[in-house]
Amino acid sequence: MSKYDDLIKSKMSEENFNKLASLENDEVLDFVGAAIELCEPDSVFVGNDSDEDVAYCRQLAIDNKEETPLNIEGHTVHFDGYFDQARKKDVTKYLVPADETLDPKLGQMDRDEGVKEMEDLQRGGYKGRQMLVRFFCLGPVGTEFAIPCLQITDSAYVIHSEDLLYRRGYEEFKSRDAGLEFFKYRHATGEVNERNCSKHPELNRVYMDYTQNTTLSVNTQYAGNTVGLKKLSLRLALRKADREGWLAEHMFIMRSNGPNGRKTYLAGAFPSACGKTSTAMIPGENIVGDDLAYFKVIDGEFRAANVENGIFGIITDVNANDDPVIHKVLTSPGEVIFGNVLVKDGRPYWSGMGEETAKDGTNYVSGEWTEGMEGPDGNPTNPSHKNARYTVQMRDLENADPDWDAPKGLKIDGIIYGGRDSDTSVPVREAYSWEHGVCTMGATLESETTAATIGQEGVRNWNVMSNMDFLSMSVGRYIQNNLDFAKDIKRPIVFGTNYFIKKDGEYLNGKLDKSIWIKWMELRVHGDVEAIDAAYGKIPLFEDLKRLFKEVLDSDYTEQDYVDQFMIRIPECVAKLDRMDKIFATIDDNPQTMKDEMAAQRTRLEELRAAKGDYISPLDL
């Protein structure tokens, strides 16, 4: 029995109330009731796992004009406001109780202050609208990976997106005891203009109340801020994993297909623009998930599950040649939500689609866009936003691994940390140990900017295991959790990649070369090929790469290619250690293992330099 029973009943039909009551969960009722009291909806819809309730929410997104149907059956387009196109770090904060502290590197504010501000911004926010209550699940339902989730919003687009991206979770709630731990989300669209975009982007707020497993957002439509189960959940899951002894990671999962039908599963963390999606979708391999993974020890094995049920991907540069699987989904009948692309005559266009885009139409800038138009801030605009998106389901991908939703997850044999630099790291290397890989490849992950992104080339952004933006604990504690995980079992081999090494300003890797590095990792996992000690990891032998290039890409790989790509660049490697030492000197709880591994790496590199010079050909190792 909830104190809100009468209020709840007054806002919904008997059928909807019975859906809530049948869960026999007072925490659910209280969260729903408090949202009704605060946001004051005209009515409330409660959905279960039925196809009818899912279809209702999808149609509502169209009826409310949050999405517009396109020419291809099942395709719709959604537009966010001009100033609401991505996550905003400065307004995304943890709500921290007065008697607690978080790592100072994390965005945060006093909990009481944040709760009050959010309530003030959301108060009455559902007036004239219907409040939507839906239940989802992170991870495979009915398994030890599963985390039930309750979403409250006034946006049918948010619910439609979650129906594509996550598993249905009403029955998960129903099957569990009333005291189960679950994640909760309350989103309010806020006042909107004629395009259903926020009138007050300056009042966009995204707060995580981790003491209540709750995220709160307002005055935003962009899915990264409103689809609670995505990165907002990752922050909550990191803390849950910390309490329970497992890992929540910003990683894809893929299957590499080895000799004689062998299946080898790899997981990888790559910061933005480092090749994450293209690696997960390598032709000839199979994708399990492209963004989020939970790691647990099950039956004595290091296993991972895809947290999600679909892909919320960047559409820029997706084309038939480079991304044939995704491109086919985006051009075939089936359920797809396009976000912030250009639309003309019912057809979507985006930058890098491999064909000429329309010169005018409807896009993220205004109701009607024409080539050369400036945005409200006076800046030049593009046909589609650089962060334009597509939302699709895993089941629609031809290369989805048949076991992507396995109840016990999948055994992981390799972990990849993919960075981006033009002058330091070789295309692929293998760590000496789990500790060496976590510390010198994962914890020191960097992504180098380009002039095209911020106007200054060569800036190295540190991004610990590609999870820096989502950490909800200190950096040192997070690294230690990774070091301690699965200590008593065989752990995956750790690899580092860098697809962006250059010589004389030109990339030394072709776009398809990553398929070779993956094949080499697969062979190394099973001990099928040897490797050379390069002082900061093990690298491939030339003969193995020459054979793989011929077998996989039918191309010739020369000794000069090998020397250029796998040159050991001691000064640059030591300079990276210097950068990392400065960063980690500011981390109070930096693990001793991290200090030891970094010191050992420096010693090996300096010894190699003393023996062979600053730049060493792999043929001389």
Structure tokens of 397?
A: 């991908």
Beta strands in 315-388 (DSSP E): 336-339, 342-344, 347-349, 360-361, 369-370
Buried b (16+ CB within 10 A) or exposed e, 484-495: ebbeeeebbbbb
Q: Which residues contact 527 (CB under 8 A, 6 or more apart)?
A: none
Distance (Å, rounded) from C-alpha 563 to C-alpha 583? Answer: 32
Instruction: Give the relative orientation of helices 14-21 and 26-39 as an angle to the nearest 10 degrees.
Output: 140
Could you tell me how many helices (H) and strands (E) the chain has, helices first? 19, 35
> Contact, 188 vs 89, CB < 8 A?
no
Distance (Å, rounded) from C-alpha 551 to C-alpha 95? Answer: 54
Region of 226 (left: φ > 0; alpha: ψ -120 to 50; beta: rest) is: alpha
Chunked mean pLDDT (size 10), the chain, 621 residues? 88 96 94 98 98 98 97 97 90 95 90 98 97 98 96 98 98 87 97 91 96 96 92 95 97 97 98 90 95 97 97 93 92 97 97 94 91 92 94 96 96 97 97 98 90 57 95 96 96 97 94 95 98 98 98 97 98 97 96 98 98 97 93
Q: Which residues contact 378 (CB under 8 A, 6 or more apart)?
A: none
Angle, CA 611 vertex, CA 606 and CA 617 arms, to 5°: 95
Distance (Å, rounded) from C-alpha 410 to C-alpha 404? Answer: 8
Distance (Å, rounded) from C-alpha 168 to C-alpha 166? Answer: 7
Beta strands 369-370 and 301-306 are: unpaired
Region of 10 (left: φ > 0; alpha: ψ -120 to 50; beta: rest) is: alpha
Q: What is the pLDDT of residue 364?
A: 93
Q: Which residues contact 573 (CB under 8 A, 6 or more apart)?
A: 424, 425, 536, 605
Q: Which of 352, 342, 399, 404 is nearest to 373 (CA)?
A: 342
Q: What is the pLDDT of residue 577?
A: 98
Q: Where do the domains of the chain lie, and which CATH numbers do they carry?
A: 5-76+86-244 (3.40.449.10), 248-309+405-620 (3.90.228.20), 312-396 (2.170.8)
Q: Which residues contact 363 (CB under 8 A, 6 or more apart)?
A: 79, 340, 341, 342, 343, 369, 381, 383, 384, 385
Q: What is the pLDDT of residue 48?
A: 97
Q: What is the pLDDT of residue 455?
A: 47
Token pair 């200590």: residue: 487
Instruction: Give the relative orientation of helices 231-244 and 475-484 as an angle to the nearest 10 degrees.
Output: 60
Surface-to-core class of residue 417, CB atoms within 10 Å of its CB (0-12 exposed, 13-18 middle, 19+ buried):
buried
Q: Is 274 a catalytic residue?
A: yes
Catalytic choice (39, 137, 274, 439): 274
DSSP per-residue letters across 389-416: EEEEEGGG-TTB-TTTT-TT-EEEEEEE
> Contact, 388 vs 362, CB < 8 A?
no
Q: What is the pLDDT of residue 101?
A: 87
Sign of CA dihedral 296, 301, 302, 308: negative
> Contact, 409 vs 482, CB < 8 A?
no
Q: What is the pLDDT of residue 454?
A: 40
Sign of CA dihedral 84, 85, 88, 94: positive
Surface-to-core class of residue 272, CB atoms within 10 Å of its CB (0-12 exposed, 13-18 middle, 19+ buried):
middle
Sign of CA dihedral 534, 540, 546, 550: negative
Q: What is the pLDDT of residue 272?
A: 86
Region of 20 (left: φ > 0; alpha: ψ -120 to 50; beta: rest) is: alpha
Distance (Å, rounded) from C-alpha 80 to C-alpha 591? Answer: 42
Buried b (16+ CB within 10 A) or exposed e, 39-59: bbbeebbbbbbeeebbebbbe
Which run of H or of E encompasses 448?
strand 446-448
Which run of H or of E encompasses 159?
helix 156-165
**Is-above-0.85 flag for pTM?**
yes
Q: Which residues contact 289 (CB under 8 A, 6 or more apart)?
A: 252, 253, 280, 306, 307, 308, 394, 404
Distance (Å, rounded) from C-alpha 173 to C-alpha 381? Answer: 45
